């Protein structure tokens, strides 16, 4: 029978401050359901539909639980339950008037009167319905009204009425964003309590800047002249020093004062005389070797100058004397001219060479030389040879035409061509059109004997790019 009793209950939905709960009941009225659930409601809590209305399980029963509020205002404390969502609404419900400058505190924090309050916390645990109601009632808000007090402020002749909820004059000025500087003079102490009818005068200091010795002094003063604020700031003038504006200029707001320091001095400057670099051949030194026969030493020239400075900036400069203290010693560099024949083993047998040279190696064919096939000079080298394997292009200022060059991995090439991009230590390797091989690397090549006449040798080679 117990099973049948429970099985015949009807599900009903209860909404508590928007949180949905599903319960089972035999009750026929809203009040019966709420009593069955053991909910402890206050008269301020709102039940919809009404307490005595017949229960329609197809529609939810809605409970809006009131929130407990305590208020401290005008020396009194009150407490009640409310459904208002803002501090302003709570106060209006109880006929409490806020003045424009009054401050509202919610649980100790400043709050705008029409800003929404935090929502009540509702647990979804259906087993704790009654504790839910009690908990909502026990989530109180504490409101406090700080009444603003008017006071008069005469700020350098400008009279205004200000309001504050602060306790002291310092609080009131900070609340109204009225700055007070150490150099200002107030008619009352900053610690004086605020009271209705209080009148405060501020004798304002004037801000000024002094640019002196590379620094900027930013201060305020109630003194009257440039001379007075310089003394106040500990700035002294010496000798021919002066100021802009003049010392007797009256102080005004944001006055900018520049202190001009004047000094004269004699400067003896040492100027280096560069040494000359001379290059000489050495027939006893091996080709492509070099050395320093004599180390260069710079000379010295002295100048004595009279210089006038204003704020460390030269305003005049007069040279009084100039002389050479020490003559420079030229540097003498030597380069080798002695050719020593050497031998290198190649796949075709040993080869005698007179010079080893590191160069950039690239490759080309007639088709990549920049001329169209119908061009009269297509496939013809600078010296009239057919471009093919064994023909190489060189810079004739570095490697003489007709030189036989052994290139590892390529073989022997004849220097009978050149090109617009072939400069300095650059050798472009010729290939037949059907067997071009890509080259781009730095490699040692060997200029085969016999060497050219001495007057046709480029003894000092140009630099080449680093690997």
Whole-angstrom distance, CA of residue 457 vs CA of residue 399? 8
Whole-angstrom distance, CA of residue 23 vs CA of residue 126? 8
Per the prediction, the chain carries an average pLDDT of 89
The Cα-based distances of 110 to 76, 107, 439 in angstroms read 19, 9, 80
Reduced to 3 states, what is the DSSP secondary structure of residue 294?
Answer: strand
Task: Determine how many CB atoms are found less than 10 A away from the CB of residue 126.
Answer: 14
68 has pLDDT over 70: yes
In a domain, 305, yes or no: yes
Residue 292 is part of a domain; what is its CATH number? Answer: 2.20.230.10
In a domain, 466, yes or no: no
Q: At which of 280, 306, 336 does a domain end?
A: 336
Residue 161: phi and psi, rounded to 5, are -100, 125
Residues 215 and 274 in one domain: no
Residues 42 and 117 in one domain: yes
Least reliable range by pLDDT among 57-61, 175-179, 251-255: 57-61
pLDDT above 70: percentage of residues in the chain: 94
* DSSP conformation class of 253: T
In a domain, 452, yes or no: yes
The Cα-based distances of 440 to 50, 69, 363, 427, 444 in angstroms read 97, 88, 8, 10, 13
In a domain, 95, yes or no: yes
Range of the domain at 19: 1-144
pLDDT of residue 4: 47
Q: Is-above-0.95 flag for pTM?
A: no
Burial class, 318, CB count within 10 angstroms (exposed 0-12 / middle 13-18 / buried 19+): exposed
Q: Is 37 left (phi over 0), alpha (psi -120 to 50) or beta?
A: alpha
Residues 139 and 153 in one domain: no
Whole-angstrom distance, CA of residue 10 vs CA of residue 32? 14
Residues 9 and 125 in one domain: yes
In a domain, 467, yes or no: no
Total count of domains within the chain: 5
The Cα-based distances of 134 to 46, 83, 123 in angstroms read 15, 15, 12
Rg (alpha carbons) of the chain, rounded to whole number: 51
Residues 368 and 274 in one domain: no
In a domain, 288, yes or no: yes
Bridging pattern class, strands 199-203 and 149-155 = parallel
123 has pLDDT over 70: no
Residue 267 — pLDDT band, cuts 50, 70, 90?
confident
Residues 242 and 270 in one domain: no
Residues 47 and 159 in one domain: no
Residue 108: phi and psi, rounded to 5, are 85, 0
Q: At which of 109, 126, 144 does a domain end?
A: 144
In a domain, 464, yes or no: no
In sequence order, the 6+-apart residues with CB closer than 8 A to the CB of 376 are: none
In a domain, 463, yes or no: no
Q: What is the pLDDT of residues 278-335, one digit of tens each?
A: 999 999 999 999 999 999 999 999 999 989 989 988 889 899 899 999 999 999 999 9
Identify any residues that bridge with 329 across adjacent strands, giving them in sequence order: 297
Residues 327 and 302 in one domain: yes
pLDDT of residue 1: 41
Residues 322 and 412 in one domain: no
Residue 355 is part of a domain; what is its CATH number? Answer: 2.40.40.10
Residues 14 and 103 in one domain: yes
Please tell me which of 113-117, 304-308, 319-323, 444-448 the model is most confident about, judged by mean pLDDT.
444-448
Per-residue pLDDT, averaged over 380-403, amounts to 95
Q: At which of 122, 144, 166 does a domain end?
A: 144
281 token code pair: 């051949």
78: part of which helix (H) or strand (E)? strand 76-82
Residues 188 and 163 in one domain: yes
Q: What is the pLDDT of residues 213-247, one digit of tens each?
A: 989 999 999 999 999 999 999 999 999 999 999 99
Task: Determine how many CB atoms are found less than 10 A away from the CB of residue 33.
Answer: 20
Residues 377 and 426 in one domain: yes
Q: What is the pLDDT of residues 27-43, one digit of tens each?
A: 889 888 888 887 778 88
Whole-angstrom distance, CA of residue 33 vs CA of residue 197? 62
Burial class, 241, CB count within 10 angstroms (exposed 0-12 / middle 13-18 / buried 19+): middle
Residue 195 is part of a domain; what is its CATH number? Answer: 3.10.20.90
Whole-angstrom distance, CA of residue 82 vs CA of residue 120? 12
């Amino acid at each position: 029978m117990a099973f049948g009793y429970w099985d015949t209950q009807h599900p009903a939905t209860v909404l508590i401050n928007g949180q949905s709960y599903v319960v089972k009941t035999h009750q026929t009225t809203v009040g019966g359901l709420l009593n069955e659930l053991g909910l402890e409601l206050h008269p301020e809590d709102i039940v919809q539909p009404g307490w005595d209305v017949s229960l329609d399980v197809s529609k939810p029963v809605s409970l809006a639980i009131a929130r407990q509020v305590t208020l401290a205002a005008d020396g009194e404390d009150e407490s009640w339950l409310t459904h208002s969502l803002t501090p302003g609404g709570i106060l209006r419900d109880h006929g409490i008037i806020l003045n424009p400058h009054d401050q509202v505190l919610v649980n100790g924090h400043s709050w705008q009167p029409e800003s929404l309050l935090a929502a009540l916390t509702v647990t979804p645990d259906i087993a704790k319905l009654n504790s839910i109601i009690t908990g909502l009632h026990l989530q109180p808000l504490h409101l406090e009204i700080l009444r603003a007090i008017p006071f008069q402020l005469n700020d350098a002749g400008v009279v205004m009425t200000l309001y504050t909820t602060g306790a002291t004059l310092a609080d009131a000025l900070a609340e109204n964003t009225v700055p007070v500087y150490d150099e200002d003079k107030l008619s009352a102490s900053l610690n004086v309590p605020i009271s209705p009818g209080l009148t405060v005068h501020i004798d304002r200091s004037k801000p000024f800047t002094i640019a002196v010795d590379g620094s900027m002094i930013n201060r305020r003063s109630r003194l009257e002249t440039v001379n007075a604020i310089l003394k106040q700031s500990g700035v002294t003038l010496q000798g021919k020093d002066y100021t802009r504006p003049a010392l007797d200029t009256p102080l005004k707001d944001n006055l900018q004062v520049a202190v001009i320091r004047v000094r004269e001095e004699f400067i003896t400057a040492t100027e280096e005389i560069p040494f000359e670099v001379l290059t000489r051949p050495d027939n006893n030194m091996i080709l492509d070797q070099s050395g320093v026969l004599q180390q260069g030493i710079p000379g010295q020239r002295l100048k004595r100058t009279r210089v006038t400075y204003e704020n460390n900036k030269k305003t005049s400069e007069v040279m009084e004397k100039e002389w050479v203290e020490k003559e420079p010693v030229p540097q003498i560099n030597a380069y080798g001219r002695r050719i020593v024949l050497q031998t290198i083993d190649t796949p075709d047998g040993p080869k005698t060479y007179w010079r080893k040279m590191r160069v950039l190696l690239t490759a080309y064919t007639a088709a990549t030389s920049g001329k169209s096939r119908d061009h009269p000079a297509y496939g013809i080298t600078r010296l009239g040879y057919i471009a093919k394997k064994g023909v190489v292009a060189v810079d004739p200022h570095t490697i003489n035409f007709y030189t036989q060059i052994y290139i590892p991995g390529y073989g022997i090439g004849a220097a009978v061509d050149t090109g617009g991009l072939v400069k300095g230590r650059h050798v472009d390797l010729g290939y037949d059109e059907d067997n071009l091989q890509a080259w781009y690397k730095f490699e040692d090549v060997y200029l085969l004997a016999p060497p050219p006449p001495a007057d046709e040798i480029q003894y000092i080679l140009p630099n080449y790019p680093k690997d």
